[in-house]
Each structure stands twice: as structure tokens, then as C-alpha cells.
Structure 1
Amino acid sequence: MDVTKRFNRIVAIYFQLQAKPIVRAQDLAEQFDVSQRTIYRDIKALEQAGIPIYGEAGTGYGLVEGYRLPPTKFSREEILTLAAAEKLMQKFVDPDLFRHFSSVLNKIKAYLRYSDKLNVNLLEENMLMGSLAHRFNENVPSALSILFESIAQHKVVNMEYQSSASVKPVHREIEPVGVFHQGNYWYFMAYCHLREDYRQFRIDRIQKIQLTSIPFTKEHKPLSHYLAKEDPSPTTTIRISVPLVYARYMEWERSYYGFISEEITDTGVIMTFECKNMEHEFARWYLMFADQARILEPEELKERVKELLANIQL
């Protein structure tokens, strides 16, 4: 059993070496839940099997440039996963990036057996993904692709960006750090030369975008570093009580409003939030369930909801 487990691990390490320019022993050890010494032995086994690996302990490993094996045989589950991934990509990325992904997938499909191609076609015909409106600006179909290219090449991007607070787009020169998806939108973190600081942007608000040949002026830390910074905005503790039958309808959006925890009682569900925008965002969201939910605290939220109700024009 241990021999089989080690063999599977060594094979998995080899595929990672094929897929990445540099693989660190520390990352492999964490992934496979073994010691770094074990990873060193696995690397040695690959070298003894004739795999040309460069690098050393403490830095990272990679395959000698130009060394690649012919395309491997895919399992049935892997093939169907690729087909499903294409559908997901069609929904969640911009048209330009999806076109590139489909091109790659078609090249992979060319190596499949006839029966596997039939399975892929059958899945594609019977898997539908509803589109989400306004995820990208239709006039800028390659925004995500350009940002990826900028990050990979360390090249400055010029863009016209219209924030929620601006009447018209503002020209920005930025150095993108990373891209992430949250809620229903794609966001990216970048160093903005206009603001001389790091800023978070939403991709669908880009009106124009162009990759330049200008190299980055700074060495940027990984995206996780900037996302991990604490938001200095104060929060308000909110507690509401909702009947159990209605609480499930709130699960989809409550995380956007600072949801912390819930307690199921005999009378329903008590939800606790730490909200950064109680007066405008939370109060208006609460109105969707106001005929069933009850505010436990704070009193300020009760007064704000009453104000909104008083201003409703029928």
C-alpha cells in the first residue's frame, strides 16, 4: 500500500514539473502531507529514472528546457472534467479568454479516442450554464486576458476606468498584481500611478484597456498580501431574528453584508452580522424580508428602516 502511495505521489510530482517552470519542495511537502526530506527522495527517484531535473534542495526544481513526454492518456473522469470546465469558463470569463481556452481544449480533444469524443459531446449537449449579466463590459471583451498578460509579462496597462462615484471614465496607468472573483464580479488589485498607491478595481467598469510595452516600476508582493490587509472601516454589530422557513432565502446574499454566525432556536434563526454600511446597504437589503424578520439590535437600524419605509412612494 505504501509503495503504491509513493508511486502515485512521484507520478503527481512529475506532472507538476511538466506543468510549472519551478516547483518548490516545501509546497510539494504541504500538498502531499509528507516531509521535505521525503520529497527530496522522490525527486532523486525521478532523476534515477532518467528524468532531467535541474535545481536543488532549498530553492526549487524544474525540467530541463525542451524535455516533454508525448500527450498522456486521459481517464474518462478527467475528460468529462475538461468538458465541464469549458462550460464554466464560458460563463465566468470574458469572451477573449474563453476563445483561448476553447482552442487549447480542441487540441486536447484531437488526441481522444472516438468513444471519448462521443462522451464529451454528450455532456456538452446536456450541460447548460445560465449567463450572468454585466459580469464584463461588452465593449471590452478582452479585459481579463489583457490583465493576465500584464501580470505574466510585468507590463504596465493603460485603461479608462469609471468608478461608481465618477460621472465619466478616468485615465489610469496601472501595474496589475492579481485577479480574483468575489460575489458576482471579477476584481483585480493594481498599483495605480495616478493615486500612487494600491487600489482595487472591478473589471466590468473598465471602458478601455491596452497593454503597453512599459515594464513595471515596482516589485509587487503576491495578491494574498494585499487582500489580507484589514479594512480600517468600522463595523456595526447587527442581530436579526428570522423564521427558519425564510432564513434559507437569505443564505445566498448574507455574506455580502458581513454575516458572522447564526443560532437556530425554537422560534427561528438568529443571525449576527458585522456590517460596514448599515444605513444604506444593510437596511435596504433587510427590507426584502422585513415582513418576516425582526431586528434585535441596534436601535439605529430600526430607525433607519422606519425612515426608508416612510419615504416609499406608492
Structure 2
Amino acid sequence: MNRTNRLNAILIQLQSKRVVKAREIADRFEISLRTVYRDIRALEEAGVPIGAEAGVGYFLQESYHLPPVMFTSDEASALLFGEKLVGKMSDEKIKSDFCSALYKVKAILKPSEKDYLEKLHEHVEVYNYHSMGDRFRLLYLNEIQQALVSKQVLQIKYESKHAEEAVLRRVEPIGLCNYSSRWHLLAWCQLRKDYRDFRLDRIADLQLTPEHFKGKQHISIREYMAQNAMIASEANITLLVPKSRQKLIDESKYWYGFLTEEDAGDRVRMQFSNSDLRGFAIWMLNTGSHAQVEFPLELQEIVTGYVNDMIKTYRKD
């Protein structure tokens, strides 16, 4: 990117939020802080009223307004991909709000860019089987975002995997996270007195409460995930997989806690960390990898039970 284009991009970035740190600009364009300072000075010399607050960042004076933003074809294509992903990876409220915002963006596109998107639209699709159930139509994403900003306690009715009935919890949200194709609420649970991970598709009801926790300092999403990664790094499952069938397991093993593997002659010894032994057993059998459970004994028994049940189902009397 040449300097003229970079200066225009920096100007747009300054308009995108109230205050922009010099480090944010440097990281985005992969330039030094010294270059950032020179670019800001060049914009000021061109008449752009840029304010600065020591140790905080740069900002545009409120009286300054940029002309309507124009998009390149690549940027317009990125908007299309965002539309497709939001449609399959969020609930109906977020999808509706995004579409409304996108209509406003499309309204300022040049005719050629509108035609480009129209032609591309039918050739791009996202499939996510997790989002096909009715529960995924309402994930309370909007309410959770509001609670995160205002540090507001949430009351949720949660249907855990093992409990027979939903349980009421009051939680202090610290973040939203999407992994394994599902949205998760990371929060401090007032009942358990600890941080917990709540899958949004298991929340039967969610209410914003008048209680706030502004005085508390919770850990960040990154700190929570790092702590759990350290716990999950301890293997509790070992499989022996025939090398001739290893490819059947390679693509999906990372979704089930794969850690390491080593050569074991005509087989590969794989280690996993996964607390859901029954779900892990079903995955093993579905892969067709003919994997043998080396550890733990409980998983061996679960797999054996599933196989015996299948034999009984298909055995002819």
C-alpha cells in the first residue's frame, strides 16, 4: 500500500472509533510508531483536525466529517462473506440487525459494485448444521452484549448436558466466544463461585437483572481460555490407530481434544484430552478408523457396550 492510500485508510480508521491508539495503527499497517507519528503529522498539515491525548491515542474533532466512504470490489466481497457468516453463526436478532446495517452500506456502493455483489451472492454459501435447530433462533446474543458493556448480572435458565432439569444461575459475564461451531458465554457463576462456560444453545431463558458488578475485576477471555488450555493439556485418553486408516481420523481429531501422536509400529499412538467419554466413543466408531482404546478402561467399556448393542440390533434370531 502506498503512502497516499495509507493516509486515507488511517483517516477512515480514526473515524471508526472515539480514540485510536498509535499502536493499533502501526499493527494494522505493519509500520513503525515513528512512521505513524509522521503520517498523523501529514494529515494535520493537510488540514485534518486531529486531537491527541498523551498515553491514550488520537481522535478526530467532533466538527470534522468525512465524505461518504467508497468501497473497492475486494471490500464489497468481504461484506458479502460477512453477511453469509452472520446468517449461519448468530441468532435471528443479530442477523436482522446486521442485514439492516448492510442495506445502509450497500446503498452507498457504486452501481458496478452492487452488480458485482449481486452476481457473487448466489455462488457463496455457508452450511452449519448446528444452527438448524429452533434453539439457535434465539441465542440471546444481543442481551449478552448489553450485559458485557454495562457489567450487568444475568439470570439464566441453563440445561446442562447431564442434569435432567434446567437450573437457574446468576452469572457475571466476561465474554462471548465462538468455538467448535457454537457460541459460548464465559462468566463468573455466583452459585459455583467460579468461572464457567455456558453454551448458548443450552440456555432456555435469559434475563438482564438490575444488579451490576462494576467494582469487580474479572479475568479476560484470553486469560480464561489460557487457563483452560493448561488444564486440557493433560491427556486422559490414548488410542492406537492403524496407519492404514489414520487419514479417516486426521481431519476431525482436533475437534475432540487431540494433543500428540507417536509412531507405534504399524499403528499410531494418539493422546487426547476429553471429558465427554460417551461422546468421544461415538465419534471413534463413526470415523471407521478401527481405533483401539489403550486408556482409560472406562472408555473401553463404553465402546464395547455400544458395539454389543449394535450387534444385538442387527443379529438375526
Same fold (TM over 0.5): yes
Which digits, 9 at most, give the CA deviation of each residue in 1:36-60, with x for residues without a partner? 2332222222222222223345322
- Indicate whether 1:71 and 2:68 are aligned: yes
Report the CA distance shift for 1:289/1:89 in structure 2 as closer, same or farther (over 3 A).
closer
- Indicate whether 1:60 and 2:64 are aligned: no
Listed as ranges, the matches of 1:100-111 within 5 Å are 100-111=97-108
Q: CA RMSD in A?
A: 3.1
Indicate the residue corresponding to 1:284 in structure 2: 282
Report the CA distance shift for 1:72/1:149 in structure 2 as closer, same or farther (over 3 A).
same
**Aligned counterpart for 1:226 among listed residues 205, 224, 245:** 224
Report the CA distance shift for 1:76/1:23 in structure 2 as closer, same or farther (over 3 A).
same
Structure 1 stretches lacking a partner, 5+ long: none
- Counterpart contact for 1:137–1:206, Cα < 8 Å: no
Residue 261 of structure 1 deviates from its aligned partner by 4.4
Q: How many residues align?
A: 308
Distance 2:242 2:43 in 1: 59
Residue 103 of structure 1 deviates from its aligned partner by 0.4
Report the CA distance shift for 1:307/1:212 in structure 2 as closer, same or farther (over 3 A).
closer
* More displaced 10-residue stretch of structure 1: 52-61 or 160-169: 52-61
**Aligned counterpart for 2:91 among listed residues 85, 89, 94:** 94
The letter of the residue matching 2:107 is A
Report the CA distance shift for 1:54/1:193 in structure 2 as closer, same or farther (over 3 A).
farther
- Indicate whether 1:255 and 2:254 are aligned: yes
Indicate the residue corresponding to 1:150 in structure 2: 147
Which digits, 9 at most, give the CA deviation of each residue in 1:208-258, with x for residues without a partner? 1223444334233431111111454652352433445x4444234211222
- Counterpart contact for 2:91–2:136, Cα < 8 Å: no
**Aligned counterpart for 2:201 among listed residues 197, 201, 204:** 204
Report the CA distance shift for 1:219/1:65 in structure 2 as closer, same or farther (over 3 A).
farther
Report the CA distance shift for 1:235/1:276 in structure 2 as closer, same or farther (over 3 A).
farther
Report the CA distance shift for 1:128/1:53 in structure 2 as closer, same or farther (over 3 A).
same
Residue 294 of structure 1 deviates from its aligned partner by 4.3
Distance 2:63 2:192 in 1: 43
- Counterpart contact for 2:185–2:200, Cα < 8 Å: yes
Instruction: Report the secondary structure of 1:228's partner residue.
Output: helix
Report the CA distance shift for 1:266/1:199 in structure 2 as closer, same or farther (over 3 A).
closer
Structure 2 stretches lacking a partner, 5+ long: none
Report the CA distance shift for 1:200/1:35 in structure 2 as closer, same or farther (over 3 A).
same
Instruction: Report the secondary structure of 1:220's partner residue.
Output: coil
- Indicate whether 1:16 and 2:13 are aligned: yes
Distance 1:32 1:215 in 2: 38
Which digits, 9 at most, give the CA deviation of each residue in 1:169-206, with x for residues without a partner? 22222222111111121112112223333211100011
**Aligned counterpart for 1:162 among listed residues 159, 164, 170:** 159
Report the CA distance shift for 1:130/1:278 in structure 2 as closer, same or farther (over 3 A).
closer
- Indicate whether 1:275 and 2:276 are aligned: no
TM-score, normalization by structure 2: 0.82
Report the CA distance shift for 1:62/1:271 in structure 2 as closer, same or farther (over 3 A).
farther
Report the CA distance shift for 1:289/1:73 in structure 2 as closer, same or farther (over 3 A).
closer
- Structure showing the higher helix proportion among its residues: 2
TM-score, normalization by structure 1: 0.83
Instruction: Report the secondary structure of 1:229's partner residue.
Output: helix
Indicate the residue corresponding to 2:80 in structure 1: 83
Distance 1:112 1:23 in 2: 26
Which digits, 9 at most, give the CA deviation of each residue in 1:139-162, with x for residues without a partner? 862511211222223333222222
The letter of the residue matching 1:127 is V
Instruction: Report the secondary structure of 2:185's partner residue.
Output: strand
- Counterpart contact for 2:188–2:195, Cα < 8 Å: yes
Indicate the residue corresponding to 2:118 in structure 1: 121
- Counterpart contact for 1:161–1:171, Cα < 8 Å: yes
The letter of the residue matching 1:99 is S
Distance 1:159 1:166 in 2: 15
- Counterpart contact for 2:136–2:201, Cα < 8 Å: no
